[in-house]
Structure 1
């Protein structure tokens, strides 16, 4: 049986880290399996594809309408394509790689953001990266997380992770607005609004599970 120095408790099973505080366990793990089952993430692949396709069609239609009503200096179709690619990629990460979902999504957003900002800098810094590209990627990530939460049967710790990710994705465009790094505020406001709406929905429907999981993590 292993021991957690953080919780000062013995842990049964073959855990390498404490399931409560994530501290590295000392001692030898039990040969017998843990007394509780590891429930796998279950989802209907066809339902995921149907929802993603529907959302993609809505995004394309909204983009075409926006190009007619609000002509943008950046190619709107390319921007929509970037957002849709991020949308599909985040959903695939969320439903396939749930144990590393936070790290994978953050890496993807950071890489796209740095590449777009660097390209904007080489182009003479017109602000299209902070005005359009980064808020669009953050918005697509928030929508994808909402799809993953709605379709897949998430565990309580997944809801907690997704809440923090949503907060992060909505704070970045909000920071751009505060610092005045945007030439058109609408994309950033859309990202911030979606983030707030998703956080409110998760608190309304899964608030008790999120608070319980947060209490365990903080050992409250």
Structure 2
């Protein structure tokens, strides 16, 4: 079988040279974004043609949106496991609330999924901080954000959208206790973290 390489003296030249093709992160994001727009526009057209009797089109479009956000999040928070998990958790909560809304809003996303996701997120934040030996100033911002998200559960509770408010109330209390501990025992770290994030 003939060899693909042609040899002249000690040098070897391949008949099919390997082209070093590199794609920058910015170019990759643009490609992914273009594909996302193509798919979203295509399914929007399909949804318009089929009419409102096919709600699965909206769910597919939501899935595509989530996939795009996941790719952007993975590119943006590379090397920061805690930030990646946090972004994924909030995307998952938003998706569940949307699916609940699309299926006549029975409230399961607000009664069960959101509270327990916030509980898991709080535990994971502390575990990762302990395992990776993070300084308090490196993770207290996540506690602040999670506490704010937990307090937002009061809105569906007051409006009656949450049919089983007990889990949400318990999670709100847990996050407030954790936030109180941060304020009392780690106020300096909290100020440092907020100053770094928001130039306070």
TM-score between the two structures when normalised by the length of structure 1? 0.47
Cα gap change, 1:209 to 1:99, in 2 (>3 Å)? same
Q: Unpaired runs of 5+ in structure 1? A: 1-92
Distance 2:158 2:78 in 1: 34
Q: 1:101 aligns with which of 79, 82, 94?
A: 82
Q: 1:172 aligns with which of 124, 129, 152?
A: 152
> 1:219, CA displacement in angstroms?
5.3
| Partner SS for 1:111 | helix
Structure with more contact order per residue of length (Cα contacts < 8 Å, sep ≥ 6): 1
Equivalent residue, structure 2, for 1:142? 122
Q: Matches of residues 9-24 of structure 1 in structure 2 within 5 Å?
A: none
Equivalent residue, structure 2, for 1:132? 112
Q: Which runs of 4+ in 1 moved over 4 A?
A: 215-220
Q: Matches of residues 1-220 of structure 1 in structure 2 within 5 Å?
A: 99=80, 101-102=82-83, 104-215=84-195
User: Any conservation in 2 of the 1:160–1:210 contact (CA below 8 Å)?
Assistant: yes
User: Any conservation in 2 of the 1:139–1:169 contact (CA below 8 Å)?
Assistant: no
Question: Could you say which structure has the larger radius of gyration?
Answer: 2
User: Any conservation in 2 of the 1:112–1:134 contact (CA below 8 Å)?
Assistant: no
TM-score between the two structures when normalised by the length of structure 2? 0.51
Distance 1:150 1:201 in 2: 16
| Partner SS for 1:178 | helix
Question: Which one has the bigger helix percentage?
Answer: 2
Distance 2:143 2:119 in 1: 14
| Partner SS for 1:194 | helix
User: Any conservation in 1 of the 2:86–2:121 contact (CA below 8 Å)?
Assistant: no
> 1:150, CA displacement in angstroms?
4.0
Per-residue CA distance 1:145-182 (angstroms, 9 max, x = gap): 23333444213531342232322332232332233320
Superposition RMSD in Å: 3.0
Equivalent residue, structure 1, for 2:39? none
Distance 1:202 1:97 in 2: 27
Per-residue CA distance 1:2-55 (angstroms, 9 max, x = gap): xxxxxxxxxxxxxxxxxxxxxxxxxxxxxxxxxxxxxxxxxxxxxxxxxxxxxx
